[in-house]
């Protein structure tokens, strides 16, 4: 499913791997463009054997791993 970017309100396509979808996150879903998340400093890329990223939910402040 698609949604609106929390920051710029542009369309986020859930099947675009570049974009970020926090699903089943509390009672809200959050859609973010990766570049918007980076611009607002809510994404932290992990380095090391388990590649991935941690995202701070802009709605509730919880950290979600991608």
Mention every residue, 6+ apart, whose C-beta is less than 8 A from residue 39. 7
Q: Which one of the spans 13-21, 37-45, 47-55, 58-66 is the region binding Zn ion (CB under 5 A)?
A: 58-66
The β-bridge partners of 46 are 52
Task: Supply the minimum distance, in Å, between the C-beta of residue 49 and Zn ion.
Answer: 27
Task: Supply the minimum distance, in Å, between the C-beta of residue 44 and Zn ion.
Answer: 16
Q: Is 60 in the site for Zn ion (CB under 5 A)?
A: yes
Q: Which of residues 20-39 bind Zn ion (CB under 5 A)?
A: 25-26, 33, 36
3-state DSSP helix/strand/coil % of the chain, to nearest 5: 10, 40, 50
């Amino acid at each position: 499913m698609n949604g609106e970017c929390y920051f710029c309100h542009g369309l986020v396509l859930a099947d675009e791997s570049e974009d970020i979808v926090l699903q089943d996150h509390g009672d809200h879903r959050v859609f973010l463009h990766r570049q918007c998340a980076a611009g607002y400093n809510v994404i932290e890329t992990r380095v090391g054997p388990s590649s991935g990223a941690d995202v701070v939910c802009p709605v509730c402040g919880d950290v979600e791993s991608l």
